[in-house]
Structure 1
Amino acid sequence: MQWIKQALSTLIGSEAERLARTFLEQQGLRFVMQNYRCRTGEIDLIMQDQDELVFVEVKYRSNSQHGAAIEFFHASKKRKFESAVMHYMQEKGFNPSIVPHRIDLVGIEGKGQQPHDINWLKSI
């Protein structure tokens, strides 16, 4: 039963990331990669906004009864995310003090085929 929950969660997460990517591309950002993983964490999307790298965390909730999706990116999650960003930059040979970059958060709320509410927070 646990593997079914995990598989469903993975499918939902992939769909949320697809929605976020489409939304960000409509806003003029260019896709770089998805699901960068390292020992310190994961980056859902990496995009390019002109000359700036944008590292995106995507949060999804089917409803906001227990809080908005963006509220689930708490301090400890942000620290792990920042660590993954530094790992990516180091791996690619990018100096974080020279290469412009930021962390954005995309919160998606809604269920099924109905329109989704998308909240985009830049430079969190």
Structure 2
Amino acid sequence: MKGAEAEARAAQHLQALGRRVVAQNYRIRGGEIDLVTLDGPVLVFTEVRHRSSTRYGGAAASVTPQKLALMFRAAQSYLLREHGREDLPCRLEVLTIDGPADTGHITLIPVE
């Protein structure tokens, strides 16, 4: 349930930034996108990572190159399945929550 709480808070945060949530938990074999939002005309694919404690590193430390590769693959799949093309304006990002899911510190990290 903690993951769902973090994702709900992330969605609220992104909506407060003026974005519109268009999909949640988009899954393909071997990959998932937690949130897909529209930031103006740009689709944004967001991975939500939450760590209640920094005991094993913060939430950003839990994002591996393999996770980013799977995220990229899922985003490509989303573009093809939902829009029929891969060349739409889009970007990837990671939203981290460090501390309690409902009150922890939120950081948005662009994926280059």
TM-score by length of 1: 0.84
Q: How many equivalent pairs are there?
A: 112
Report deviation, 1:92: 1.5
User: Is the CA contact 2:33–2:74 (under 8 Å) kept in the aligned structure 1?
Assistant: yes
Taking CA–CA contacts closer than 8 Å with sequence separation of 6 or more, which of the two structures ends up with the larger relative contact order?
2
Matching residue within 100, 105, 108 for 2:89: 100
- Provide the residue aligned with 1:50 in structure 2: 40
How many Å separate the matches in 2 of 1:48 and 1:71? Answer: 26
Q: Determine if the alignment matches structure 1 residue 63 to structure 2 residue 53.
A: yes
Q: Determine if the alignment matches structure 1 residue 80 to structure 2 residue 67.
A: no
The alpha-carbon distance between structure 1 residues 112 and 40, as it changes in their structure 2 partners (threshold 3 A), is closer
- Provide the residue aligned with 1:111 in structure 2: 100
How many Å separate the matches in 1 of 2:30 and 2:78? Answer: 10
- In the alignment, structure 2 segments of 5+ residues that lack a partner are none
- Provide the residue aligned with 1:8 in structure 2: none
Percent identity reads 33
Report deviation, 1:109: 1.3
Matching residue within 99, 108, 112 for 1:120: 108
How many Å separate the matches in 2 of 1:90 and 1:104? Answer: 19
- Cα-Cα RMSD: 1.4
User: Is the CA contact 2:2–2:101 (under 8 Å) kept in the aligned structure 1?
Assistant: no
TM-score by length of 2: 0.92
- Provide the residue aligned with 1:7 in structure 2: none
Code of the aligned partner of 1:100: P
- In the alignment, structure 1 segments of 5+ residues that lack a partner are 1-10
Q: Which segments of structure 1 move beyond 2 Å, counting only runs of 4 or more?
A: 93-97
User: Is the CA contact 2:50–2:101 (under 8 Å) kept in the aligned structure 1?
Assistant: no
